[in-house]
């Protein structure tokens, strides 16, 4: 089986690995905002940008798509829901349910946008250590008054650490159920419930054990954080991201 890389930090020397984590968060936010309103030309540019960054970070394509296959189900639901709910010219009808041409087009664009956001988030997570994400969020929120930046940073750091745990648990349970031929059941709701409930039970249990461990070790969120310094290339990346965002909004 291919090595698990989904939302796990992977050491490297790529351009993304060397960027300041604050710069990566700002650029990710700008690119995500650009993706939400991008049309065909903009989405093609963003796809090309992802391909270049993924190649520079040395991410194996087959492993990426294998690890993100569960997100494909979510994208399929988004596509089908758009096909069934968007008004327009029907191209297929069955018992009062219409699939419209406009719904198919909008579903494709919506799935494309969400896939790009997920993939950009994957690039961010594999090129940034969780502790660096916590430090960057704390530094970004520090100038904002009345915001508990340390508490928010700790929460975001825990979320980032738990995403691969949840995905790994899902994969383990799915493989175990497949070995027991549960995936051969015809009822999709039953198959989904047999997968979701054990994943939730294990995730909640691990969360409780983590909370107990942090409490037993007298964890204090008010720990000092290492300083961060943005260099010239980081400012150039932010400038390029802003320019890219403006261009995509005008296409």
**Per-residue pLDDT reduced to its tens digit, 165-186:** 777 788 788 888 778 777 676 6
**Going by C-beta distance under 8 Å and a sequence separation of 6 or more, which residues neighbour residue 25?**
124, 133, 136, 137, 140
Report the C-alpha gap between 176 and 208 in whole angstroms.
Answer: 24
The whole-number pLDDT of residue 1 equals: 40
For residues 45 and 79, state if they share a domain.
Answer: yes
**Going by C-beta distance under 8 Å and a sequence separation of 6 or more, which residues neighbour residue 202?**
169, 173
For residues 114 and 143, state if they share a domain.
Answer: no
For residues 208 and 144, state if they share a domain.
Answer: yes
For residues 171 and 185, state if they share a domain.
Answer: yes
* pLDDT beyond 70 at 5: no
The whole-number pLDDT of residue 67 equals: 65
Average pLDDT, the chain: 83
Q: Which helix (H) or strand (E) holds 91?
A: strand 90-94
The whole-number pLDDT of residue 230 equals: 87
For residues 71 and 178, state if they share a domain.
Answer: no
Backbone φ and ψ for 119, nearest 5 degrees, come out as: -70, -40
**Number of Cα atoms under 13 Å in the Cβ half of residue 89:** 4
Mode of pairing for the β-strands spanning 97-100 and 90-94:
antiparallel
For residues 14 and 50, state if they share a domain.
Answer: yes
Q: Which helix (H) or strand (E) holds 105?
A: helix 101-126
The tally of domains found in the chain comes to 2
* pLDDT beyond 80 at 51: yes
* Residue range 110-162, pLDDT digits in tens: 999 999 998 898 888 888 888 888 889 888 888 888 888 888 888 887 877 77
Tokens, residue 42: 């903009």
For residues 139 and 107, state if they share a domain.
Answer: no
Report the C-alpha gap between 204 and 190 in whole angstroms.
Answer: 21
Collapse the DSSP code of 159 into the 3-class scheme (helix H, G, I; strand E, B; otherwise coil) and give the result.
helix
- The whole domain housing 181 covers 129-220
For residues 211 and 237, state if they share a domain.
Answer: no
For residues 108 and 152, state if they share a domain.
Answer: no
Report the C-alpha gap between 112 and 37 in whole angstroms.
Answer: 12
Collapse the DSSP code of 93 into the 3-class scheme (helix H, G, I; strand E, B; otherwise coil) and give the result.
strand
For residues 105 and 215, state if they share a domain.
Answer: no
* pTM of the full structure: 0.77
For residues 251 and 185, state if they share a domain.
Answer: no
Tokens, residue 138: 């704390």
In this prediction, residue 7 has a pLDDT band, given cuts at 50, 70 and 90, of low
For residues 117 and 136, state if they share a domain.
Answer: no
């Amino acid at each position: 089986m291919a090595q698990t890389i989904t939302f796990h930090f992977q050491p490297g020397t790529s351009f993304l690995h060397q960027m300041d984590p604050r710069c990566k968060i700002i650029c990710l936010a700008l690119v995500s905002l650009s993706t939400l309103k991008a049309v065909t030309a903009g989405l093609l540019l963003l796809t090309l940008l992802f391909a270049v960054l993924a190649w520079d970070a040395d991410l194996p394509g087959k492993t990426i798509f294998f690890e993100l296959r569960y997100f494909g189900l979510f994208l399929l639901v988004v596509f089908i829901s758009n096909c069934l709910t968007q008004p327009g010219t029907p191209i297929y009808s069955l018992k009062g349910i219409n699939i419209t041409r406009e719904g198919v087009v909008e579903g494709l664009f919506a799935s494309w946008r969400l896939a790009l956001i997920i993939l950009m988030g994957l690039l961010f997570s594999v090129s940034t250590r969780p502790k660096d994400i916590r430090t960057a969020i704390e530094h970004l929120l520090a100038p904002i008054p009345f915001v508990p930046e340390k508490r928010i940073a700790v929460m975001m750091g825990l979320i980032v650490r738990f995403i691969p745990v949840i995905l790994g648990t899902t994969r383990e349970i799915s493989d175990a159920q497949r070995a027991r031929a549960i995936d051969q059941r015809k009822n999709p709701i039953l198959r989904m419930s047999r997968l979701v409930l054990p994943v939730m039970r294990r995730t909640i249990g691990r969360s409780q054990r983590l909370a107990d461990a942090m409490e037993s070790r007298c964890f204090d969120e008010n720990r000092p954080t290492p300083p961060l310094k943005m260099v010239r290339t980081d400012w150039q990346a932010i400038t390029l991201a802003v320019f890219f965002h403006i261009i995509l909004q005008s296409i």
